Amino acid sequence: MTSRVALGGAAVRTGANAKANAKARARPVRAAVSEPPAAPASEQVPAARGAARKKVVVLGSGWGAISFVKSLPASAPYDVVLVSPRNYFLYTPLLPGAATGAVEERSIVEPIRRPIAEKGWKYYEAACIDVDAGAKKITCRAADPECFDDKGRDCEWHTFDVDYDYLVTAVGAVPNTFGVPGVEENCMFFKEIVHASRFRREVNERFERATLPDVPESRMRELLTFVVIGAGPTGVELAAELYDMVYQDVAKMYPSRLIPFVSIKIIDLQEKILSAYDRRIAEYATDFFQRANIECLLNKQVGEVKPDAVVITDKITGEKSEVPFGLAVWCSGIRLNPLCEKIMDSLPEGTQENRRSLACDKNLRVNGSNGSIFAVGDCATIVRPRSMSKAMELYKSAAKCDDAGECEIDLDKDQIKAALNKGVEEFPHLEEVVNNIDDKFAVFAQANGRCTFDGFSKMLTEVDNGLRALPATAQVAKQEGEYLAAFFAQCDGDATKLMGDETKFEYNHKGSLAYIGKDAAVADIPGFTIVKGIAAGIIWKSFETISQVSVRNIFLVASDMIRTKLFGRDISRFID
Amino acid sequence: MTSRVALGGAAVRTGANAKANAKARARPVRAAVSEPPAAPASEQVPAARGAARKKVVVLGSGWGAISFVKSLPASAPYDVVLVSPRNYFLYTPLLPGAATGAVEERSIVEPIRRPIAEKGWKYYEAACIDVDAGAKKITCRAADPECFDDKGRDCEWHTFDVDYDYLVTAVGAVPNTFGVPGVEENCMFFKEIVHASRFRREVNERFERATLPDVPESRMRELLTFVVIGAGPTGVELAAELYDMVYQDVAKMYPSRLIPFVSIKIIDLQEKILSAYDRRIAEYATDFFQRANIECLLNKQVGEVKPDAVVITDKITGEKSEVPFGLAVWCSGIRLNPLCEKIMDSLPEGTQENRRSLACDKNLRVNGSNGSIFAVGDCATIVRPRSMSKAMELYKSAAKCDDAGECEIDLDKDQIKAALNKGVEEFPHLEEVVNNIDDKFAVFAQANGRCTFDGFSKMLTEVDNGLRALPATAQVAKQEGEYLAAFFAQCDGDATKLMGDETKFEYNHKGSLAYIGKDAAVADIPGFTIVKGIAAGIIWKSFETISQVSVRNIFLVASDMIRTKLFGRDISRFID
C-alpha cells in the first residue's frame, strides 16, 4: 500500500454531479437565523474575503475533526465553523494511562479553540441535534443549563441554526451494549476523559473501602475484583495499566493484606485477547496476561450484567457462570452515533442502506448528499464498488467471439488475467488476484485448465467479500481528516472540483501498537516486523509521546511519564 | 519573635493534671468494635511494639494533620490512625492558580496515604461523625454509597468506632455565609480542589455561552461578569489569577468582541482589599487592582445573593444597589466545623465557652479534655491567660507595705515596671509593655507621676485586649502540627509528660505573601521589609514552589509554571 494519492478516472459521473452541484449551490429557502443579524465589528469578515468563500461546518472534536482543522490551511477559501459539545480534542490512545494516573487527564487533551483561533475560524460549544441536508442547515443546542431552569430567562439563543455549503461529519461512534441487559446501569463505559477520571476515582474508592475495619473477606474480594469486558486494544491496555498501578503503586500505599484479594479479569468472545491483531501478537499477549495473573475469560459470551456480577456463557461448552466484581468496565464495541441516523433520514431513500455508518464514496462524500456532506472517522465507511456488478462485461471483454456474436464459454488463464486487468482501474482490489493469478486460477478453473463464467463469478465474489471496511481507529480517522483537508485545499473552493473524482482516499496502515503492562507492548509494523516485550514498550512510549497533536502535549506527556517513573502515580481521589 | 520553644514555669497545674491523667488512662467501658477481631498476619504489630505504645487518632488531612504526621518520627512510641473523608492533602495557597489552570489540580495535592504508608501507620477514608471524649472513642462513617442503595447489602462495616489514647483534631473550618440569604444556592465556595475544578469549568462555560450566535449584548455582559465576595488573600488571588487567565489566554482564543464585556469585581466590607495586611500593602494592592480594571466595591455590605445579582449596601452612604453576575464566588470567612461542636458537647460544661473554635491551652490540649484531645489549625484557639485576673496580686507585689499591712495606693514608674516584670512569666504579652514602659506609664499615670491601681488595671486591660487569636492560615496550622509532633516525640509516650507544661507553642510569623496578578505580588516579611510588584512576584513563585510538601509536588508545580509560561493555560472544560 502506498501513501501517494492515486489518480482514478471516473469521468462518467461528472455530468450527474455538475447538476447536483448546481442544486447544492441553491440557498436554503427556510428562514434560518444562522448568524447574528448585525455582527459586531470585530467579527465581520473582510469584504474581500466574502463572496467566493465557502462555508464549511465541521461536526465533532475528535481525531477526524482535529486533523481536518489542523491540516486545512487558513489561506484556503473556506470559512470554517466547528460545532461540538466537547471543547477539546482527546488523545484517545493514552486514555487507559490517564485512567490510572500514569499520565494526567490534562496532558492528553488539547483545547479545540487553539487551532480554531490560530486560523481565525469559529467554534460553538453546542451539540448538533439535527441536519437538514436539503436546506443545507444544521440545528444546534447549546449546553446552557440556565435555559432549563425555572428562572424564566429568555433563551432564544439556546437553539440556533447554522447554514453550510459543505458539512464535514466527524462525530465518531457511541459505545455499543449489543442489547446486553444491565450494561448501562452496572458498567462504566470507557471512551471519554470523564470515564478515565471516573475509573481512577472508583478504583481508588474500592481500595479505600476494602481497607476499612471490619470488612469481611468476601466483601474485600468482591470490592477488589476488576472486570474488563472486551479484549480489544482499549480493554487490554486498561487492564494492563490497572495491573501496573496496583502492583507498582497501590501495593506500596495500602495495607499488604489487601493485595491477595485483588484480581483483574478480562472477558472476550474470541479465544485470544487482541484477536484482531496478528495471530502471533494475540498469542503472545494472551500468554503474557496469563503469566501476569490477569485472568483471561475467553470464548465467553456476556449474557447480562448484574449489579455485582457478570453472567457469562462459554461459547464451546455452553456452561453458564457468574463473575462477581467490584468494578466492571465495558470496552466492547461501538455503534452508530444517533446524529448520523438523522443525517441518513435526511438523505434520499436508498442512498444509505447500511445503517452502521454513513456510506461514502472514495472522496469521503456521503452518498445521497450530492457532495455537500462529507464524513470522516468512525462514523464513515467508504463503500467500494463490487466488481461482481460488472462481471459479465469484464468476462466478455476477454472472450473471443465470432461474427455471429457467439462467444467462448470458458477462458484460459491469460484471458482471465486480461479480464481482471480490464477491471483493475475501477476495482483496485482486483489487483491482488492478478498478482496471484496462478493460485487463484487453480482454485476456480475446471480440470481442463479453463474457467467458466460461473468460476469467474465465484472468483470475483470471493475478492469482493474480502473488501473490508477500514478499522474504527484513530489512525484511519486522522488520515481521512488530513486527506479531506488536502482535498478541500486542492479544490480551492471550486464546487465542480469538490465533486470531482480525480483523487481518492487511500489508507496507509502504519502499524498497530498496544501496551500490555510491565513496560511491555506489542507492535505490528507492516512490511517490517512484529515486536514484542520491553523493546516494543519503548517504541510505544516514544510513539505515544511524539504523536501528541501539539508541542504542548508532547511536553506534558513526556513530563508525566518521567514523573510516574520517579514518583509513582497519584492515587488521590477527587469527588466532584 | 523567636522560634525557640520557650520554657514557662506553671507547676501550679501539675497536681490537677496528674489526677486528670489518671482518669484519661482509664479504658473505655462501652463495647466498641474498633478493630477487626482477628487482624490478618500482615497487619499485626510486632509484639515488642505493643504494650507501651499509645494510640493516636488524627482527624483531618489538611495543613495541621499532614505537618503532624510528617513531623512525628515513625520511631516514636505511637500507633497513628488518620481518619479523613478526603484522602489527600491540598496545598491551599495555590488553589486560585489551580482554578485558572496556571497549575494543575493534581500538582497541588499529595495522597495522604504516602506519608502514612512510609511510617507503617493506618489511614481510614471516612468521616468522623461523633466523638465520645469520656469513652475516648470516635465513630466514623465510610463513604460507601453501596450502603445507601436498594441492593440490600449487609453494611455492618459502614459505621465503625476507633478508640484512642490521644485524639488530634485537625478538621479545619467550613465556609461562613454569615446568614446572608442566597449564598448557598447562588454562590460557589472556594476552599477545596473541587471548587477550583468547578471554577475553571464554569468560567470556561460562561465564555462558551457568550460566544454562541444570537446572544444579546446584555446577556453577554451578565455572563462575563465575575464577582468575588471577600477581599482577603484567597479572594484577591482568585481575582488576580482570573484576570491573568482572561487577558493572557482567553483573549487569544475567544472572539475579540467578547473582551469588552468581561468584568471582574471584588466586594468587601473594608475600605481596602487585603485589609488584614500592612496598610502599605493594602493600599498598593487596592491601587494595583483599580489600575488593572478589577473593580473594587469597597465598604460594601452584602445583604443577599440573588440567582443573578449580589445585593450590596454602602457602609457609609447606606445606598443599596445590585451587582449582576455570571458567576459569583464566596471567599468571605470561615466558621466552626460542625464536628467541633460535637466535641465541645462531649466535654464538661464550662470548659468551652467560646463556640468559634476549640479552646486549647498553650500545648494545644483542648480545655476540658484532661489532656486527651489536642487541636491544631483553624479549629483551634490557644486561650492565653488574661493578666487582669491577677492584677491585684501583681500590683501588691510591687507596693511597699508597712507592718500593719497598709500599702501604697499609687506606684511610681519603677514599681509599675517591677509589677509587670513579675507577671511576664505567666503573661508573656506583658513584655511588650515593659519594653515601652515610658510611653505606657505616661498614658496611665496621674499628673503627679504616680499610677493608681485603677490606672494599672486599665493598662492591663488594654494589653489583654490586644491579645489576638492567631490567624486562620496555613502557616499557623503547619507550625502547630510540627510543634505538636515534636511535643509528642519529646514526651515519648509518657502520659505525665504529655500533661506537662514545660514547653509551649509559639508562633513564628514568617511573613505574608499574596499574588495580585500580572506577575506581581505583595510580601510582608517581618523584620525585613515590604516587597511589592514583580520582585515580590518572583519571591511568591519561588516560595510557593519550594514550599510544596514533597519533592514530587515541587517537580509538578515547577513544571506547571514553566508550561503556563510556554503554552498558556489549558481552557478545556470537563463535564463529569
pLDDT, tens digit (0-9, with 9 covering 90-100), for A432-445? 788 888 888 888 88
* A213:B124 CB<8 A: yes
SS3 A347: coil
**What are A38-51's pLDDT values in tens digits?**
434 344 444 444 44
* A204:B308 CB<8 A: no
Does residue A1 carry a pLDDT above 70?
no
Residue B553's pLDDT is: 67
What does the pLDDT average to over A205-218?
89
* B253:A563 CB<8 A: no
Does residue B42 carry a pLDDT above 90?
no
Q: Which amino acid is at B440?
A: K
A105 neighbourhood in chain B, CB within 8 Å = 574
Contacts of residue A393, Cβ cutoff 8 Å, sequence gap at least 6: none
> Which of A157, A192, A563 to mutate against chain B (most B CBs within 10 Å)?
A157
**What are B378-437's pLDDT values in tens digits?**
999 998 878 888 888 888 888 887 777 777 888 888 889 988 888 888 887 888 788 888
* B33:A143 CB<8 A: no
* A255:B110 CB<8 A: no
Residue A432's pLDDT is: 79
From A125, A151, A576, residue closest to B197, measured CB to CB: A576
Residue A516's pLDDT is: 86
**What are B303-317's pLDDT values in tens digits?**
999 999 999 999 999
Q: What pTM does this model have?
A: 0.79
Q: Which three cell numbers stand for residue B543?
A: 516560595
* A253:B111 CB<8 A: yes
**What are A322-354's pLDDT values in tens digits?**
999 999 999 998 999 999 999 999 999 889 987
State chain B's mean pLDDT as an integer: 82
**What are A295-304's pLDDT values in tens digits?**
999 999 999 9
Residue B565's pLDDT is: 67
SS3 B501: coil
From A162, A197, A204, residue closest to B576, measured CB to CB: A197
Strands annotated E in A332-392: 334-336, 358-360, 373-375, 380-382
**What are A21-30's pLDDT values in tens digits?**
333 333 333 3
Does residue B40 carry a pLDDT above 50?
no
**What are B218-272's pLDDT values in tens digits?**
989 999 999 999 999 999 999 999 998 888 888 888 998 999 999 999 999 999 9
* B104:A104 CB<8 A: yes
A564 neighbourhood in chain B, CB within 8 Å = none
What does the pLDDT average to over A229-250?
91
Question: What angle is formed at CA B545 by the lines to CA B543 and CA B550, rounded to 5 degrees?
Answer: 120
SS3 B386: coil
Does residue B152 carry a pLDDT above 80?
no
CA-based nearest distance A503→chain B, Å? 35
> Distance between CA B275 and CA B286 in Å, rounded?
9
A159 neighbourhood in chain B, CB within 8 Å = none
B208 neighbourhood in chain A, CB within 8 Å = 87, 125, 142-143
Q: CB of B274 within 8 A of CB of B233?
A: yes
Does residue B12 carry a pLDDT above 70?
no
> Distance between CA B564 and CA B570 in Å, rounded?
8
Q: CB of B383 within 8 A of CB of B361?
A: yes
User: What per-residue string of b and e applies to B314-325 under the rule 16 or more CB within 10 Å gives b?
Assistant: eeeeeeeeebeb
Residue A157's pLDDT is: 57
Does residue B32 carry a pLDDT above 80?
no
> Distance between CA B367 and CA A78 in Å, rounded?
75
Angle of helix B453-465 relative to helix B391-398, nearest 10 degrees? Answer: 130
A234: confidence class by pLDDT, cuts 50, 70, 90: very high
SS3 B399: coil
Residue B574's pLDDT is: 52
State chain A's mean pLDDT as an integer: 82
Question: What angle is formed at CA B159 by the lines to CA B155 and CA B161, rounded to 5 degrees?
Answer: 140
Q: Which residue of B has its CA nearest to A572?
A: B111
Q: CB of A498 within 8 A of CB of A488?
A: yes
Does residue A477 carry a pLDDT above 60?
yes
* B212:A114 CB<8 A: no
B215: confidence class by pLDDT, cuts 50, 70, 90: confident
Mean pLDDT check: name the lowest of A140-149, B94-103, B290-299: A140-149
CA distances from B387 to A346, A573, B459, B465 (A): 87, 48, 10, 10
Q: What is the CATH number of domain B183-331?
A: 3.50.50.100
Residue A266's pLDDT is: 97
CA-based nearest distance A564→chain B, Å? 10
Residues of chain A with CATH 3.50.50.100: 183-331
Which class does domain B3-175+337-381 fall in?
Answer: alpha beta
As a three-state string, the secondary structure of A111-153 is ECHHHHHHCCCEEEEEEEEEEECCCCEEEEEECCHHHHCCCCC
Residue A521's pLDDT is: 83
Pairing of strands B88-90, B109-111: antiparallel
Does residue B279 carry a pLDDT above 80?
yes
* B253:A111 CB<8 A: yes
Mean pLDDT check: name the lowest of A241-245, A567-571, B128-132, B462-466: A567-571
The DSSP code sequence of B197-255 is HHHHHHHHHHHHHHHSTT--HHHHHHHTEEEEE--SHHHHHHHHHHHHIIIIIIHHHS-
- Residue-level length of chain A: 576
Greater pLDDT, B510 or B254: B254
Pairing of strands A188-189, A327-330: parallel
Residues of chain B with CATH 1.10.238: 384-465
Q: Which residue of A has its CA nearest to B565?
A: A552
CA-based nearest distance A563→chain B, Å? 8
Q: Could you tell me which of B33, B30, B93 has the C-alpha nearest to residue B512? A: B93
Greater pLDDT, A153 or A428: A428
Strands annotated E in B268-407: 294-297, 300-305, 309-314, 320-324, 327-330, 334-336, 358-360, 373-375, 380-382
SS3 B536: helix
Greater pLDDT, B201 or A20: B201
Mean pLDDT check: name the lowest of A539-543, B28-32, B78-82: B28-32
* A40:B257 CB<8 A: yes
From A104, A125, A307, residue closest to B208, measured CB to CB: A125
> Distance between CA A357 and CA A335 in Å, rounded?
8
Residue B402's pLDDT is: 78
Greater pLDDT, A288 or B548: A288
**What are A258-291's pLDDT values in tens digits?**
999 999 999 999 999 999 888 888 999 999 999 9
Does residue A544 carry a pLDDT above 90?
no
Contacts of residue B367, Cβ cutoff 8 Å, sequence gap at least 6: B347, B351, B352, B358, B359, B360, B361, B383
The DSSP code sequence of A165-222 is SEEEE---EEE--TT-TTHHHH-EE-SSHHHHHHHHHHHHHHHHHHHSTT--HHHHHH
Residue showing cell 471524649: B133
B210 neighbourhood in chain A, CB within 8 Å = none
Residue A508's pLDDT is: 85
Q: Could you tell me which of A34, A24, A257, A47 has the C-alpha nearest to residue A157? A: A34
* A219:B157 CB<8 A: yes
Residues of chain B with CATH 3.50.50.60: 3-175+337-381
Does residue A116 carry a pLDDT above 80?
yes
A257 neighbourhood in chain B, CB within 8 Å = 39-43
- Residue-level length of chain B: 576
Greater pLDDT, A250 or A492: A492
From B157, B193, B213, residue closest to A36, measured CB to CB: B213
Assign residue B232 a region (left: φ > 0; alpha: ψ between -120 and 50; beta: otherwise).
beta
Q: CB of A195 within 8 A of CB of A188?
A: yes
Q: CB of A78 within 8 A of CB of A72?
A: yes
Which class does domain B384-465 fall in?
Answer: mainly alpha
